[in-house]
Amino acid sequence: MFYIHCPYCGELREEEEFHPKGQAHIARPADPTACTDEEWGDYLFFRDNPRGIHHELWVHAVGCRKFFNITRHTVSYEILETFKMGEQPSFTTEHPQGGSAESATRQAQDALQAGVHA
């Protein structure tokens, strides 16, 4: 059994209280009627199946009943982090040691600084 940290309840809870809901961060096309069949089919049916870091949507079904995200390693099954909806993962394929959210923030700040200087 896993213990999973629910970011809304703020504590570790048994895996039994949770349900996985598939791949996270799938954006619905802004204008579905303008999609080609292929784009719409990709959106509806096709999911990543990576070997390594995977971002997933889970729900704390028996607890607070909120959806949240988990970054999970599909080889070791290790849960690297859990985070609320709308937040960015810090572990990604490019940043397997974490810190990608911070670097994204830093890049944005750098760009802002550059803009100020320019």
Partner 1 sequence: MSNTAVETVRTFDTRTEAKIPLESPLAYAYRRSGAPAPTAGSRATLRERPFLGHLILRGGAIVLDEAVRELLGVSLPGEPQGLVHDAEGERSIQWISPDEWLVIVPGGEEFALENRLREALADAHFAISNVSGGQTLVELEGEAARELLMKSVIYDVNPSHFPVGKGVTTVFAKTTVILRRPSESRWELVVRRSFADYTYRWLLDAGEAYGISVER
What is the binding site for partner 1 (CB under 8 A)?
8-11, 13-14, 16-17, 62-66
**Least separation in angstroms between CB 96 and partner 1:** 30
For 73, the 3-state DSSP assignment is: strand
Whichever of 35 and 59 has its CB closer to partner 1, that residue is: 59
As beta bridge partners, residue 13 has 4
Whichever of 59 and 101 has its CB closer to partner 1, that residue is: 59
Which spans in the chain are helix H? 37-45, 100-117
Helix (H) or strand (E) holding 100: helix 100-117
Whichever of 63 and 98 has its CB closer to partner 1, that residue is: 63
| CA–CA separation, 53 and 10 (whole Å) | 23
**Least separation in angstroms between CB 114 and partner 1:** 37
